[in-house]
Amino acid sequence: MTIRRSKRRLGVLTALTALLVGSACSTPSEVLGPDNHVTVTNLVGHFQLTADNIQNVTTTMTFTWQNPGTYAAIQHLSFAPHGTTLLIISDADGTEVYNGKLLYEEDDRSLDGTPGAWTVTFSLDQTVAQINIILDAGYPPD
């Protein structure tokens, strides 16, 4: 009879532990707020987005950026050790010219596209990060 009670208690404790561990893993995602110090510089030919103290954030941000060039020079200065980050850039015709993760200390460039109003989209999914991304209009050599 004592063994049955011990097994029953052990079963209840195991179920409670599983419930607590499961709920800790499913912490709801946060959104960007004032604590993230989001700064956007959106000028003709130059775009920069910075944000810090990002903790378990899920969001999508979309901007229209005037790019007079034929491509975007991309300077990655972000650090995202957890979650999923994505930068998607489309040219003035809506053609996707870049699709990649936010990276740390890497220079890149988009494919060539049509100058004009480009769409810049940042997607974060359960991300822990510091973001600093710079886009500059790129021109082919003469």
Predicted confidence (pLDDT) per residue in 20-31, tens digit: 334 334 577 888
Question: Where would I find the beta strands (DSSP E) of the chain?
Answer: 39-43, 46-67, 71-76, 79-90, 96-100, 106-109, 116-138
CA torsion 51-72-64-114 (nearest 10°) is -170
pLDDT of residue 23: 37
CATH number for the domain formed by residue range(s) 34-138: 2.60.120
Query: Taking Cα atoms as reference points, which of 107, 140, 139, 131 lies closest to residue 38?
Result: 131
Measured CA to CA in angstroms, residue 108 lies from 9, 20, 74, 99, 105 at distances of 59, 44, 5, 11, 10
pLDDT of residue 24: 38
The residues of the chain scoring below 70 in pLDDT are: 1-26, 142
